[in-house]
Amino acid sequence: MMKNSIILAGGLGTRLRPLTDEIPKPLLPIGDKPILERIIENMTAQGIENIFISVNYKKDMIKNYFKDGKMMKTKIKYIEEERSTGTAGCLTLLPENFCDDIIVSNGDLLSDVDYNGIDKLLHVDGADFVLTTIEKSYKIDFGVINSDESTKKLIDWVEKPTYTYNVNAGIYGVSARVIKFIKNNFKQNTRIDMPELWKILTENNFTLLIYKHPGDWYDIGRIDDYVNINSTFSNNN
């Protein structure tokens, strides 16, 4: 069972302005609770005991709200970024004595992801790094044409097709072995995003596996997303 997590909560939330001019994105309410509080509740309900929150923009508001986590029956510590470190750079700032498996989660999404599924890939299937994906479908409102560029011949014509993709869900499982590698190879506050880290780990023969999440997942990156998810939670509660 996963016991540790780090939540990325330091972003500027520029796509959610003007909502984020005065409030950091993780504290925006979804129903009657901030986004970040709902994420933490899901983590603690699944047995995660130690939570790091990576903060930067309006960090004092986040720290003053959650404090040390006692009100949520968990332990919260804060990692303060000197500057934006990307989606993986916060791992360079974990305490010097920390070397354990950890869940990494974006702080602007809601999901009922099963962390035990990620844990199984790490401990049973031998993964060093787990990327959670979800299935998304997109309908094209026009006929899609495939042709031979050299002969101009029509090869295929599909009217208003729907394409399905597996996309990054912003939730990762990172093994203690990878944490040790990061500490040995990157300086603190190094800016690095997860796709770049994935390439580096692949080049160094780490095992990277996919966890396909079949349940709910909501990204809260834009105003429309925020309005829609609030409507969903209002109707369900």
Taking the complete model, does pTM exceed 0.85, yes or no?
A: yes
Take residue 3 and report the two structure tokens written for it.
């016991």
- Chain segment 132-171, per-residue pLDDT in tens: 999 988 888 889 888 888 888 898 989 998 989 999 999 9
Tallying the residues shown for the chain, one arrives at 237
Take residue 219 and report the two structure tokens written for it.
């990204």
Predicted local confidence at residue 234, as pLDDT = 65
CA pair distance 204, 230, nearest whole angstrom? 43
- Chain segment 34-50, per-residue pLDDT in tens: 999 999 999 999 999 99
Domains and CATH numbers, the chain: 4-133+166-236 (3.90.550.10)
CB neighbours of residue 199 within 10 Å: 11
In DSSP notation, 158-217 reads: EES-EEEEEEEEEEEEE-HHHHHHHHHHS-TT----HHHHHHHHHHTT--EEEEE--S-E
Predicted local confidence at residue 214, as pLDDT = 93
User: Letter for the amino acid at 158?
Assistant: V
Lowest mean pLDDT among 3-17, 83-97, 114-128, 199-213: 3-17
